[in-house]
Chain A
Amino acid sequence: MSTRNVLLQAARRGGSLFGLVKKLWGHPKGRLGLILVSLLVLIAILAPVLAPYDPYDVTQRAEKGLRPSLQHPLGTTITTGQDILSMLIYGSRVSLMIGIITGVILAFLGALMGVIAGYVGGFADTLIMRVVDILLVIPTLPLIIVLTNLLGRSYFVIVLVFVAFGWTGLARVIRSLVLVLKNSNYVKAAELAGASRWYIMTKHILPGTSHLIIMNTTLTCAGIMVAEAGLSFLGLGDPTAISWGKMLAEAQGGGALLFGAWWWILAPGAGIFLAVFSFMRIGIVMEEIFNPRMKASSSIYKIFKHLNNSYLDEVFRSMEDEGPEEAEGQPISTAPAPEGGHD
């Protein structure tokens, strides 16, 4: 769809994206998120290289239920004797792929619907919003169960349902923003100069939403990954693929708790946690960047911690009128001072 290309262009507009990455890097928590996500992506891509064994290869099975050791740092599964570490590494592929692919598709679909509803307005707006209302009412889990019964268990079905139902959140948020942007004075000025609706949509409205789209998408990816893990746990995913959720299901079914093989449960759990955490970290930091008011006042406390008392005295002394030396006044604030502060 050409509109998708436009959206793609807008999102990829050089300055915007690179500037964003740079800002994230500058933020200590953002840097952490970026590093983790990059690590995860690398692991997923390089899985065949990194994993000591190929868990899909039946011939590489070892003895069942081994405890962690040098050859099998996370042991082997009780049920099949697969190396858990390798499963963990390969499992990242499923989570990340589903999370990112679904997230990106949702970004396009949600933004498209939001912009149309907001900017075109009128009947299109009413139609889209009513569709959103309907979709929000339909319960997705039973639907997935029904569809997997009809179409067979696969990630395609899961992604399909996520995409069909998940665009509503972003659409609503984007629509609100578009309604605000539409009435900006600079849009009015452009209209007075004779700008077409297309020009305004692509030059003013879309770039104005790009930050929101990116931020929302990272948080959505995190959510999708958790949802996918849950569905795989329930056995609704592809039975042949290795995913963290499925590992958890196997661990539970295979009696990990019974036999005390806690590493089998911990590994996929940690994997899910790290993946979701890193995406959310990026999303939250982005929210702070775009909405400076949300910034935690930690940075201010840091400045205050490093404040030198003599520096402050110097500053206050310099405010005095020249003349006979006056006694130093007392501070008048009643809030508790940070450690090392004057009082």
Chain B
Amino acid sequence: MSASGGMPIERLLEMENVSVNFPVKRAYPFSRRRWIQAVTDVSLEISQGETFGIVGESGCGKSTLANAMIGMVRPTGGTVRFQGEDLYALKTKAFKEARRNMQMIFQDPFSSLNPRFTVYDIIKEPLLIRGGASEAEMRARVLELLKLVGLDEEDLLRHPSDFSGGQRQRIGIARAIILNPRFLVCDEPVSGLDVSVHAQIMNLLMEIQAELNLTYVFISHNLAVVKNVCQNMLVMYLGKVMEAGDSNTVFANPLHPYTKALLSAILDVNVDRTRERVLLQGDTPSPIDPPEGCRFWQRCPFAMVGCETTPAALVGVEDGHHVACHLISGFSPEQKAAGLDQPASSQ
């Protein structure tokens, strides 16, 4: 799933079979320990300069995955490799150094800035924490970034409450890039903003990426935005990858029923009524002790009997396109003989 091209492009981040499980507080002592399988067996590669998209709805594990990427959550299984090194095996000092190359932009512009800090304090903070710069140097750098994100010098002494959502997001972006990170995780950066401001912030993010040669991980539930900016992507549901690959390829030929449902749910403004409309049934089940088989089977309109019990592996369908679905990978002759390919009774 790496970006195509003749020149060797550095693999900035790799995740191999990463799983993250959280224990659920026991109802009473000695009862069976239950686990939230937030992320299960996810592998990916992100190249330098790329924008990698992670698509999914709430509960799919995308935030946990992002947190595991930047060292905030230790995976229960698998490895996270940043710049070639196993991130979680590093000693504290090296770990902190590595993490300084990563930053995050958060979804909610209202809770991502400390309301008691001035804008100056907020943006300067990462630099202050890292140390090694004089007050004058820090101020110069902050001013430089303010200009880059489109704010004025007189905004420095104000507090976040004086700004609109879009402006706060700009402040958050300035804070995120002050240490010149290589890697930026954008967790639904525009979902909490007005529609007419979405485009402004997205364009700003793209400009900054080009200018500073950043690598983005872009988390969103909006496939249209992801299509526009990401080279590679993966679609997650309840902690597992349903479909992954080069975004052009995936969009040209979406195969997984969930991907199709997401696409039809993004009710396109250019009303293209010929596009296949897939409507799901039921609600997102709980991530506690998920089923053995395909985690999507309960809501899948094309579910077969075998989907409930047999897990679906991620198989390559074409160059740069992988899908985890029994409809695509099919069943073995023995499984077919057992009737696993019959449509499941709808309930």
Q: Is B18 an interface residue (CB 8 A)?
A: no
**Is A190 in contact with B129, judged by CB distance below 8 angstroms?**
yes
**Is B114 in contact with A192, judged by CB distance below 8 angstroms?**
no
What distance in Å separates the Cβ of B189 from its nearest Cβ neighbour in chain A?
12
Q: How far is the CA of A184 from the CA of B109 in the complex (A)?
A: 11
**Is A189 in contact with B96, judged by CB distance below 8 angstroms?**
no
**Is A192 in contact with B104, judged by CB distance below 8 angstroms?**
yes
Q: Which residue of A lies closest to B181 (CB)?
A: A192
* Max count, chain B CB within 10 A of own CB: residue among A191, A207, A208: A191
Q: Is A194 an interface residue (CB 8 A)?
A: yes
**Is A189 in contact with B116, judged by CB distance below 8 angstroms?**
no
What distance in Å separates the Cβ of A87 from its nearest Cβ neighbour in chain B?
46
Q: How far is the CA of A194 from the CA of B126 in the complex (A)?
A: 8
User: Which residues of chain B have C-beta atoms less than 8 A from A199's C-beta?
Assistant: 129
Given A184-B111, A189-B103, A189-B104, A194 and B116 touching (CB < 8 A)?
A: no
**Contact indicator per residue, chain A 196-215, by CB within 8 Å of chain B (1) or not (0):** 00010000100110000000
Size range of the chain B interface in the assembly: 20 to 34
What distance in Å separates the Cβ of A186 from its nearest Cβ neighbour in chain B?
5
**Is A185 in contact with B111, judged by CB distance below 8 angstroms?**
yes
User: Which residues of chain A have C-beta atoms less than 8 A from B125's C-beta?
Assistant: 189-190, 193
Q: Which residue of A lies closest to B93 (CB)?
A: A194
**Is A189 in contact with B112, judged by CB distance below 8 angstroms?**
yes
Q: Which residue of A lies closest to B107 (CB)?
A: A185
Q: Is A22 an interface residue (CB 8 A)?
A: no
Q: Is B141 an interface residue (CB 8 A)?
A: no
**Is A186 in contact with B114, judged by CB distance below 8 angstroms?**
yes
B106-127 residues with Cβ-Cβ distance < 8 A to A are 106, 108, 111-114, 116-117, 122, 125-126
* Max count, chain A CB within 10 A of own CB: residue among B71, B72, B122, B126: B126
Given A193-B130, A194-B129, A185 and B106 touching (CB < 8 A)?
A: yes
Q: How far is the CA of A204 from the CA of B100 in the complex (A)?
A: 19
Q: How far is the CA of A207 from the CA of B103 in the complex (A)?
A: 24
Size range of the chain A interface in the assembly: 10 to 19
User: Which residues of chain A have C-beta atoms less than 8 A from B126's C-beta?
Assistant: 189-190, 192-193
**Is B176 in contact with A185, judged by CB distance below 8 angstroms?**
no
What distance in Å separates the Cβ of B88 from its nearest Cβ neighbour in chain A?
15
Q: Is B179 an interface residue (CB 8 A)?
A: yes
**Is B70 in contact with A189, judged by CB distance below 8 angstroms?**
no
Q: Is A46 an interface residue (CB 8 A)?
A: no
User: Which residues of chain A have C-beta atoms less than 8 A from B106's C-beta?
Assistant: 185, 188-189
Given A184-B114, A186-B113, A208-B116, A192 and B108 touching (CB < 8 A)?
A: no
**Is A193 in contact with B129, judged by CB distance below 8 angstroms?**
yes
Q: Which residue of A lies closest to B125 (CB)?
A: A190
**Is B111 in contact with A194, judged by CB distance below 8 angstroms?**
no
User: Which residues of chain A have C-beta atoms less than 8 A from B122's C-beta?
Assistant: 186
**Contact indicator per residue, chain B 67-105, by CB within 8 Å of chain A (1) or not (0):** 000111000000000000000000000001101101110
User: Which residues of chain A have C-beta atoms less than 8 A from B221's C-beta?
Assistant: none
Q: How far is the CA of A190 from the CA of B121 in the complex (A)?
A: 12
Q: How far is the CA of A312 from the CA of B96 in the complex (A)?
A: 60
Q: How far is the CA of A193 from the CA of B72 in the complex (A)?
A: 12
Q: Is B170 an interface residue (CB 8 A)?
A: no
* Max count, chain B CB within 10 A of own CB: residue among A194, A204, A208: A194
**Is B130 in contact with A185, judged by CB distance below 8 angstroms?**
no
Q: Is A195 an interface residue (CB 8 A)?
A: yes
**Is A193 in contact with B114, judged by CB distance below 8 angstroms?**
no
User: Which residues of chain B have C-beta atoms less than 8 A from A193's C-beta?
Assistant: 100, 103, 125-126, 129-130, 179
What distance in Å separates the Cβ of A238 from its nearest Cβ neighbour in chain B?
43
Q: How far is the CA of A228 from the CA of B116 in the complex (A)?
A: 37
B71, B97, B108, B176: which contacts A189 (Cβ < 8 A)? Answer: B176
Q: Is B256 an interface residue (CB 8 A)?
A: no
Q: How far is the CA of A189 from the CA of B107 in the complex (A)?
A: 13
Q: Is B295 an interface residue (CB 8 A)?
A: no
User: Which residues of chain A have C-beta atoms less than 8 A from B104's C-beta?
Assistant: 188-189, 192
Q: How far is the CA of A193 from the CA of B126 in the complex (A)?
A: 5
**Is B103 in contact with A192, judged by CB distance below 8 angstroms?**
yes
What distance in Å separates the Cβ of A137 from its nearest Cβ neighbour in chain B?
22
Q: Is B240 an interface residue (CB 8 A)?
A: no
Given A184-B114, A186-B112, A194 and B100 touching (CB < 8 A)?
A: yes
What distance in Å separates the Cβ of A220 from its nearest Cβ neighbour in chain B?
24
Q: How far is the CA of A189 from the CA of B176 in the complex (A)?
A: 8
Q: How far is the CA of A191 from the CA of B113 in the complex (A)?
A: 14
**Is A194 in contact with B96, judged by CB distance below 8 angstroms?**
yes
User: Which residues of chain A have C-beta atoms less than 8 A from B322's C-beta?
Assistant: none
User: Which residues of chain A have C-beta atoms less than 8 A from B97's C-beta?
Assistant: 194
Q: Is B175 an interface residue (CB 8 A)?
A: yes
**Is B114 in contact with A194, judged by CB distance below 8 angstroms?**
no
Q: How far is the CA of A204 from the CA of B71 in the complex (A)?
A: 21
User: Which residues of chain B have C-beta atoms less than 8 A from A189's C-beta?
Assistant: 103-104, 106, 112, 125-126, 172, 175-176
Name 10 interchain pairs, CB-CB below 8 A, sorted by A.
A188-B104, A189-B106, A189-B125, A189-B176, A190-B129, A191-B72, A192-B72, A193-B126, A194-B99, A208-B114
A-B CB proximity, top 9 nearest: A193-B126, A185-B112, A185-B106, A194-B96, A186-B114, A193-B129, A195-B129, A194-B129, A185-B111
* B residues whose Cβ falls under 8 Å from a Cβ of A: 70-72, 96-97, 99-100, 102-104, 106, 108, 111-114, 116-117, 122, 125-126, 129-130, 172, 175-176, 179
* A residues whose Cβ falls under 8 Å from a Cβ of B: 184-186, 188-195, 199, 204, 207-208
Given A186-B117, A192-B102, 14 more A-B residue pairs with CB atoms under 8 Å apart are: A184-B111, A184-B114, A186-B112, A188-B72, A188-B104, A189-B106, A189-B112, A189-B125, A189-B126, A189-B176, A192-B103, A193-B129, A194-B96, A195-B129
